[in-house]
Structures are given as structure tokens and as C-alpha cells.
A = this chain, B = another copy of it.
Amino acid sequence: MDLLEPRHEVEIVEVGPRDGFQPIGPFVATERKLRFIREAFAAGLRRIEIGSLVSASAVPQMADTPDLMRALADDAGLLPQILVPTARRAEAAAAAGAPMLAFVLSVSPAHNHNNVRRSPDESAAEYEAMTSVLDPGLPVRLNLATAFDCPFDGRVAPDAVFRLLDRLVPARPDAEICLCDTTGRAVPRQVAALFAEARARFPAVRRWALHGHDTYGLGCANAFAAHGEGVRVFDAAFGGLGGCPFAPGATGNVATEDLVWMFEEMGVSTGVALPALLALARDAAALPGAQPGGRVRAALEARCRV
């Protein structure tokens, strides 16, 4: 059975509990996180990035990821995705029973160094080391952060993406490949072009994903462009959480409810029940320290009649 196979025309991967909560200063209690995760699952979001195994001093909000993994181990149908940046963290996650892993490295040297104090090539070696020791039956995703644009270096050349994929696709040919617009500065024509060329160069890759941010208002536009190139897996965060803690106004991930609205209204099924999603998105947006984003929550509340 292919655990990552989308069950609907598109699969939305809920990353609110990881990318959305990560920049929130006040610690969100583990019990509260569990409730969000289970409500998201009940709304139809099967694959949920529940946290990451990273330095708890660097990202204190993720300190309870092992607790979440344990608590959710028996939730039937839920597919918790755990983000890891090194082989050692990946092995720890697998040993703790993670049902799937998302390994992240940044295409841009400056961003990768800032995150994990390694060059992209050093992180690529970590990915290879991880795949050589992991059970080959454990589903893996490869996240290429800053695949379009870097907060330090600006636009990222497609060749830098392809050079990493030339090396890393053979390490786990069955991995899902996610190209991440970390800054939200990708534009739809660029998104379409990069996925078109990536799919042409790596025809053996079965599944491509887009991780988008809505910082410049292009979260949905970029998802639409990627969908036009055959991408069927999309990351999103309930409430549009995920802003940068050091930059008020720099809103975060594309809101799950905005993506669900767009796809469902286009007749593309997501499997997500919008009313249930909206209820939890409103709760998430109201978390102390959260920087919510997205449009659909407010639009459906206001629903102008004139």
C-alpha cells in the first residue's frame, strides 16, 4: 500500500502544527496541539505534519514532538509527518515509530547554513546517509526549502534545484519531492516553469508537492499554477499561520481554508469539510502569539450581500 497516494484529486498536507506553530512564542500546550491535530483529521486532513525533531533550544515550540508522536500512535487513519534535518534525527524519529519522514534541506547555501550550519551538499550527504539506514518501506518526502527564492540571496536558479535532485532522487527514487517557496516570493509563472522542467527531468518521481507561503498574496495563485503542471500535493496551514516571529505583517503559509475553497470551488476534490476546518482555523488564528493569514475565514463570516 502506498501511504502517500492522494485519496482525492488533490491531497492537502496540513503543516499548521509544525510550520504554523513553530514561530509562536507562547508554548501551545501538548494537549491543545493534540486537539488541533485531531480536529484537522476529523475535518478530512489525513496527512498532518505534527512537528519536527530539531534542537529544542532553537525551536522550543517543537520540544514536545516525541510526546505528540506517542499520543497519536494509535489514531487510525492519521498519517503524522515528522520533519527532520539530519540523518541522526531521522533515525531517532524512525526508532520512535514515525510512520513517515520529511527530510528538509535548503537549496540556498545561506539559508541552509542559517538553519543547520551545513552546506547544501553536506545536508545532501545527510539525506543519503538517512536513506542508506532507513527501512526502505518507510515513506519519505524530500523538502527542498528556498527552491524559488532565499531570504538572504534572493532568486534561486533552477539549476541549483536540479543539481540537488540529480544527486538525491536516486537515493530514494520513490520519495515525494516537495519544492518549497519559503519566502512567499515565488510567482506563478516561475512555479509552473520549475515544476514543468522538474517533471520532465525526473520522470521517475511519482509525486511532486508544493509548499507555499502567502506573504505576497500569491499562495493560491502559485498552487493553481503548480496544479496546472500536474502537482497534486499541497502544504497549507490552518488559519494561515506561519508568519515570521521577527517581522509582523510577514504572514505565513497559505491558509488551508483558502486552498480548500479554491480547489473545491473549481470542482477539484480535497476531501476536506470546510465548515469543520473553518472552526478550527478560527481557533488557531486566535492563539496567543499567532499571526494568522488567509482570506476565506473573514470572507465567509462577512458575506457581503450588496
The chain B residue sitting closest to A185, CB to CB, is: B265
Contacts A190-B266, A306-B244 given; does A249 touch B299 at CB 8 Å: yes
Contacts A189-B267, A265-B187 given; does A217 touch B216 at CB 8 Å: no
A205: CB under 8 A from chain B? no
Q: State how many angstroms separate the Cβ of A165 from the closest Cβ of chain B.
A: 24
Interface centre among A215, A216, A296 (most CB of B within 10 A): A216
A-B contact pairs, 23 of them (CB 8 A): A114-B306, A183-B304, A187-B266, A188-B262, A189-B267, A190-B266, A215-B295, A215-B299, A215-B304, A217-B255, A217-B258, A217-B261, A217-B299, A218-B262, A221-B221, A221-B224, A224-B224, A246-B306, A247-B302, A247-B304, A249-B301, A250-B298, A251-B295
B258 close to A224 (CB less than 8 A)? no
A248: CB under 8 A from chain B? yes
Residues of B within 8 A of A296 (CB): 216-217
The chain B residue sitting closest to A149, CB to CB, is: B265
A16: CB under 8 A from chain B? no
Nearest 7 pairs of A and B residues by beta carbon: A217-B295, A244-B304, A249-B298, A247-B302, A247-B304, A221-B221, A250-B302
Which A positions have Cβ atoms within 8 angstroms of B?
A: 114, 151-152, 183-185, 187-190, 214-221, 223-225, 243-244, 246-251, 255, 258, 261-262, 265-268, 294-296, 298-299, 301-306
Q: How far is the CA of A296 from the CA of B185 in the complex (A)?
A: 10
Residues of B within 8 A of A267 (CB): 189
Q: How many copies altogether?
A: 2
B114 close to A262 (CB less than 8 A)? no
B151 close to A304 (CB less than 8 A)? yes
Q: How far is the CA of A224 from the CA of B187 in the complex (A)?
A: 10
Q: How far is the CA of A224 from the CA of B249 in the complex (A)?
A: 24
A152 close to B305 (CB less than 8 A)? yes
A189 close to B221 (CB less than 8 A)? no
Q: How far is the CA of A185 from the CA of B255 in the complex (A)?
A: 16
Residues of B within 8 A of A249 (CB): 298-299, 301-302
Q: How far is the CA of A255 from the CA of B295 in the complex (A)?
A: 14
Q: How far is the CA of A80 from the CA of B12 in the complex (A)?
A: 45
A294 close to B189 (CB less than 8 A)? no
